[in-house]
A and B are shown apart, each in its own frame.
Chain A
């Protein structure tokens, strides 16, 4: 990719052509608020908080979505204009009204922009802002057990027919990416409860701490095990039952046995 320069809030930012403006800004220490963006799961563009004004010099600026707007040479971006703040305030009002109990980042931005809900919420207990990150995480990391359902004002996230999903492997990727704490995931006595299902956790073979669900382990093994493809490395060498802390230790010990990188 070609290296180019764009200007964000008057600061010259080097990046590659096609990089998303929001990521470029972040790399240069300019934070743009957003609720549906995750660097590993890009392309949502639905919360609309990351809007900025952008345009080529002399051509006027328009409101664009920085998390999916590709950088091109000479682009000028303003992330915090009066118009953008006004729009973000309106969007936050709408989100707060939709999810009055939405915590985390939503509550943080609401207080940063001094926003309170001017409407009467229809569902006072709601936390979900329909950012769609959980669905995307399930699609990429899990087994597509959840999806958005219905459309328009009826839209929601759930499992098929709202029944405990056979496809769910209990990996909890959805809960980890949720920006508002909507997806309940609890662990007690070696059992994880999520999406109204209980999943037995397997102990880490090194330290014995419960870590991965049996269903997830079986699913990974079926995909990447004996007949599967784990990038040329034997599945057992990356035993997913090993918890992250122990993995760090075993990986460094194991490093010497791996083929040299090309």
Chain B
């Protein structure tokens, strides 16, 4: 008799790819196979994210250590039948050299990953308190209850843990300042308003391991002497909201939270507040205004939230990933975090790697891992084998780094020194078909929409930056525009009210720093080398490379590509709308952007 557990990823990404159907099919198949004649006991578990989102739905089999990718409902029968025997080879991950990886242990995507914040995500049923406790859950809280607050804070300080939400403020220092306040009515807040395009680690932690975040906030509350806390979660995170709410209810029912935490007589009450979809409410003071029911606008932070936060009471606000790390520090000792990382950046950081990377997903690596390792090691390089051009880190107000900085270690200080930031951990990989002016325009446009509009530089400056960048992309740019962008960037950085405004110029300033020639091609030559800015580009066919397959003509919505027989195809430049479909369709690199001539 052998026992197997089949873990099906039911994170938001895999759900979108049909993983709930796969889980149901596996359950049915297992039930059918469970007839007396079969000596296999099977449990099917819907878990959080396994990380390898690009190849979802992901299904793993324990204790065999097998991982299957892009699993369909129709594969269920075969997977169940194979239990205890050889794995279903066609569903395994195929490495670059054509060989198959049996599971996470020999899959390059997981190489070098150390899972601390994600330790349970993908491993347990997030809705099962029993699963969480079976892996040592709430042991750290139990330990914390027996410790003096001062000792909890000291342990967190020694770990070197810094805020994972972006600013990187030392967590222990923050807790200590709050604990030292005279005012005894204090609050703790978990920031789950993750809003950066391309970032999803906080959402996936809340989905996949909600109790770890609750435990982290509970320990924080004990350390700073708070009895009340809030989880501020963005309303778009349906699964995260659901799982957090159910986990909170379960924790209360089990006496982990409530009037006597684990029988200690200590009181802890946590509540969920749903964010209404404003990006700026991820900023701590705007978030607190929002919890209070006021307009979600930041305030100047000369008087810090640890002194006067929610309802003017001392308040500690920590990010989801930070809080998910806290129980590990208490349970296993500060060394678990402190021994990893580089310089002042200790522990691990979770990154959401998306864009043109081959194997995108959620990776957790020690601080100081190089960008090259992330993109080309874990990520497997650029999709379609195209050349790497840039990586955008830190969310919309982060910056774009060039190929020459691929060996840069990813930590707070190194990224900051090079014009970008760790931020919440979004990483967007770009290839030679991304125009950096267009990328800067996209982010500035996003921020102009999402700025709260309170202060002049951010509201008006971003509007003008967006107008100038749009002009450059349309071929109306001048060299004076570059100076103007730099001057506006300087004004935003120095004179904005909050961190959103102070960093909002990063996408422009970093692309001007590393990709200035691309701006100049737009301005001086009226040409977009990446073939993105449609006002400046038409596509042409290289007759030598064209195999006359006709795929381009079939993909052209303007019907401006013609060709017959074995002759190279041709594009009628006058009618080309530069949509780029033909270039995407071509398998032979025969289609390239050319300068659009004035009519």
Contact = CB atoms under 8 A, between A and B. Distances in A.
Given A68-B300, A94-B461, A48 B451 contact: no
Contacts of B455: 45-48
A132 interface: yes
B497 A46 contact: yes
A151 to B, nearest CB: 5
A130 to B, nearest CB: 7
B497 A130 contact: no
Contacts of B280: 151
A152 interface: yes
B487 interface: yes
B497 A48 contact: yes
B487 A43 contact: no
Given A46-B497, A68-B302, A151-B278, A91 B491 contact: yes
Contacts, number: 100
Contacts of A214: none
B449 interface: yes
25 contacts: A43-B299, A47-B456, A48-B455, A63-B494, A64-B302, A65-B497, A68-B299, A68-B300, A69-B302, A83-B494, A87-B491, A87-B495, A90-B491, A94-B457, A94-B460, A94-B461, A94-B464, A119-B464, A130-B459, A151-B450, A151-B453, A152-B447, A153-B449, A153-B462, A155-B452
Given A90-B495, A94-B456, A130-B456, 15 more contacts: A48-B455, A48-B456, A65-B302, A65-B497, A70-B302, A83-B494, A90-B488, A94-B460, A98-B456, A130-B454, A148-B453, A148-B454, A152-B448, A152-B462, A153-B448
Contacts of B424: none
Contacts of A46: 454-456, 497
Task: State the 6 A-B residue pairs at the shortest beta-carbon distance, nearest first.
Answer: A155-B453, A94-B460, A152-B451, A90-B491, A68-B300, A153-B463
Given A51-B495, A70-B303, A151-B280, A90 B459 contact: no
A97 interface: yes
Given A95-B456, A98-B460, A48 B495 contact: yes
B254 interface: no
Contacts of B302: 64-65, 68-70
A150 interface: yes
Nearest to B450: A152
A155 B449 CA distance: 10
B341 to A, nearest CB: 28
A48 B299 contact: no
Number of contact residues on A: which range applies? 20 to 34
Interface residues on B, range: 20 to 34
A87 B270 CA distance: 44
A65 B295 CA distance: 21
B295 A147 contact: yes
User: Most A CB atoms within 10 A — which of B463, B494, B496?
Assistant: B494
Nearest to A98: B460
A129 interface: yes
Interface of A: 43, 45-48, 51, 63-65, 68-70, 83, 87, 90-91, 94-95, 97-98, 119, 129-130, 132, 147-148, 150-155
B456 A45 contact: no
Nearest to B451: A152
B153 to A, nearest CB: 25
B453 A130 contact: yes
B303 A87 contact: no
Interface in B260-315: 278, 280, 295, 299-300, 302-303
Contacts of A94: 456-457, 460-461, 464, 491
Most B C-beta atoms less than 10 A away, residue of A43, A51, A65: A65
A83 B493 CA distance: 13
A10 B491 CA distance: 26
B150 to A, nearest CB: 27
Nearest to B280: A151
A126 to B, nearest CB: 12
Contacts of A90: 457, 487-488, 490-491, 495
A37 B523 CA distance: 41
Contacts of B449: 151-154
Contacts of A153: 448-449, 451, 453, 459, 462-463
Contacts of A83: 494
A217 B453 CA distance: 35
Nearest to B463: A153
Contacts of B495: 48, 51, 63, 87, 90-91
Nearest to A87: B495
A11 to B, nearest CB: 22
Interface string B448-490: 1111111111011111100000000000000000000001101
A177 B301 CA distance: 25
B295 A95 contact: no
Nearest to A67: B300
Contacts of B299: 43, 45, 68
Nearest to B462: A153
Contact of B453 (A45, A70, A154): A154
B453 A129 contact: no
B481 to A, nearest CB: 12
Contacts of A70: 302-303
Contact of A148 (B295, B457, B462, B497): B295
A35 B450 CA distance: 24
Contact of A151 (B451, B460, B461, B490): B451
B190 to A, nearest CB: 24
Contacts of A63: 494-495
A153 B497 CA distance: 16
A129 B456 CA distance: 8
Contacts of A130: 453-454, 456, 459
Contacts of B488: 90
Contact of B300 (A45, A87, A148, A152): A45
A77 B280 CA distance: 30
Contacts of A48: 455-457, 495-497
A109 to B, nearest CB: 12
Interface in B316-345: none
B390 to A, nearest CB: 26
Interface string B417-455: 000000000000000000000000000000111111111
Nearest to A129: B456
A91 B456 contact: yes
A83 B456 CA distance: 17
A22 to B, nearest CB: 12
Nearest to B488: A90
A93 B198 CA distance: 34
A2 to B, nearest CB: 15
Contact of B457 (A68, A91, A129, A132): A91
A155 B459 contact: yes
Contacts of B295: 147-148
Contacts of A95: 456, 460
Interface in B487-528: 487-488, 490-491, 494-497
A17 B455 CA distance: 26
A27 B487 CA distance: 33
Contacts of A97: 460, 464
A63 B302 CA distance: 12
